[in-house]
Structure 1
Amino acid sequence: MQTKKFVVDAMLGKLARWLRILGYDTVYNNNFEDWKILKIAADENRIIITRDRGLCVRARKRKLECFYVIPGLKIEEILAKLSSKYSIDLNIVDPNFSRCSVCNGVLKKVNDNLWECTRCHKKYWKGSHWRTIESTLIRARAILKNNESQQQSISYDQ
């Protein structure tokens, strides 16, 4: 399992699913109000990820880590930015170390190509959707690498 833990606001459900696929413990519920997100972050030492500037300001006033997602970014751009800031691993983890994209439960191997969530019992397998996951992560890694190259050239120019 990955060590970083997150709580994601209602506007970023797709991102919560991606973080879970990557093996990160990610709390998400589209009914959570801001006070609940702040409480979860404080009680469980989680990083808040939000598109709500006001929530981010309140989090920072409470000395809570908050990552503001700029509206309009594609999922691979968000993942690249998270990877840069928090060292998020953008490689597909072994499903034995992944989380349920629906409920955040831990996956358990059932047989060679089948995993089951220990919480909600949803089944997972490496089907055709796996190629889509891989291609999105390849794009995210390319964006990250490009951003890092640009940062290096900026520091050399100064």
Structure 2
Amino acid sequence: MQSQKFIVDAMLGKLARWLRILGYDTLYSNTYEDWKILKIAEENDRIIITRDRGLCVRARKKGLECFLVYPTEDFIDILTKLAIKYKIDLNADPNFSRCTECNGVLEKIDENRWKCTKCGKEYWKGSHWRTIENILIRARSKIKNNESRAISSG
């Protein structure tokens, strides 16, 4: 189980699902207002991820960790930056993934199937898993390229 916990604003639902796939406890609702995000982050020691600059400024004034996503950023770039900043493991393992719908913990049913202990949704390692892996490979590759550039320029 991953140690960092996140709360993601309404504009970043796709990112919330990806963090859950990677096994990170990630709260998300498209109905959360800014005050609610700040309150939850403060009470539960969660990192706020947002596209809302104003929310990020208010969070930082309260001493809360906030990661600002720029609207022009590509999804792979966002994953890469989060991985570098928060030491996120960009390897997906369904045995440690969380439910993409409700953030519940998954329980293994058999070799290739998992069930959410909270909402009951079932997951399996089908062809979509290849797509997930390909995106993560691209993000890991970007990190390696950034590290290589840093070493060669240092």
| SS across alignment from 1:48 | strand
1:145 aligns with 2:144: yes
String of CA shifts for 1:68-100, please: whole Å, max 9, x gaps: 01112222111110011000000112x221100
Alignment match, 2:17:
17
CA distance in 2, matches of 1:42, 1:18: 23
Corresponding letter in the other structure for 2:150 = Q
CA distance in 1, matches of 2:49, 2:17: 13
Corresponding letter in the other structure for 2:32 = F
CA distance in 1, matches of 2:122, 2:74: 27
Q: Alpha carbon RMSD of aligned pairs, Å? A: 0.9
String of CA shifts for 1:96-119, please: whole Å, max 9, x gaps: 211001110000001111100001
CA distance in 2, matches of 1:56, 1:151: 28
Gaps of 5+ in 2: none
Gaps of 5+ in 1: none
Corresponding letter in the other structure for 1:53 = R
String of CA shifts for 1:17-47, please: whole Å, max 9, x gaps: 0000000000000110000000010000000
CA distance in 1, matches of 2:45, 2:39: 10
- The total of aligned residue pairs comes to 154
| SS across alignment from 1:97 | coil
CA distance in 2, matches of 1:109, 1:146: 35
Segments of 4+ moved more than 3 angstroms: none
CA distance in 2, matches of 1:32, 1:74: 24
Q: Percent identity?
A: 69
TM-score by length of 1: 0.95
